[in-house]
């Protein structure tokens, strides 16, 4: 999940789309080349053990962003937070007022593999 302020997205739409594109391409790379990513994690000092890094990267379903409906995901988690009393707004209000799928929709078409 990525979050940003409305003002930032409005003021910097190109940067917003570039950040989202980079995150989605990184997820695709993790799914396609977990061994390469694990080596990079270790060489970058984020983990010490290559085998553990590889296991972690291999077990996380990075490719699922292409399959899941982000609105359904937001609805699910907003409902859980609402039920727990952590947020007062309804899931419908959060989706209507707090989400913008334009960049994701554009990038899904652009990054089709």
**1 occurs within a structural domain:** no
Q: Are 62 and 37 in contact (CB under 8 A)?
A: no
**Number of domains within the chain:** 1
- Measure the CA–CA gap between 69 and 76, rounded to whole angstroms: 11
**101 occurs within a structural domain:** yes
Res 42 pLDDT > 70: yes
Res 57 pLDDT > 90: yes
Structure tokens at 5: 């302020």
Supply the pTM of this predicted model.
Answer: 0.81
Residue 82 confidence (pLDDT): 94
**39 occurs within a structural domain:** yes
The overall average pLDDT reported for the chain is 93
Res 13 pLDDT > 60: yes
pLDDT band at 112 (very low <50, low <70, confident <90, very high): confident
**58 occurs within a structural domain:** yes
Residue 113 confidence (pLDDT): 55
User: Which structural domain range is residue 53 located in?
Assistant: 6-110
Structure tokens at 35: 């061994």
């Amino acid at each position: 999940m990525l979050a940003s302020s409305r003002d930032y997205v409005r003021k910097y739409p190109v940067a917003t789309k570039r950040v989202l594109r980079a995150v989605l391409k990184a997820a695709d790379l993790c799914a396609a080349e977990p061994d390469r990513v694990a080596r990079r994690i270790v060489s970058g000092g984020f983990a010490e053990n290559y085998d553990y890094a590889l296991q972690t990267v291999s077990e996380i379903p990075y490719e699922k962003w292409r399959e899941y409906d982000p609105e359904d995901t937001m609805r699910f988690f907003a409902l859980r937070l609402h039920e727990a009393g952590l947020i007062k707004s309804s899931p419908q209000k959060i989706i209507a007022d707090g989400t913008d799928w334009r960049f994701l929709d554009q990038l899904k078409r652009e990054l089709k593999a």
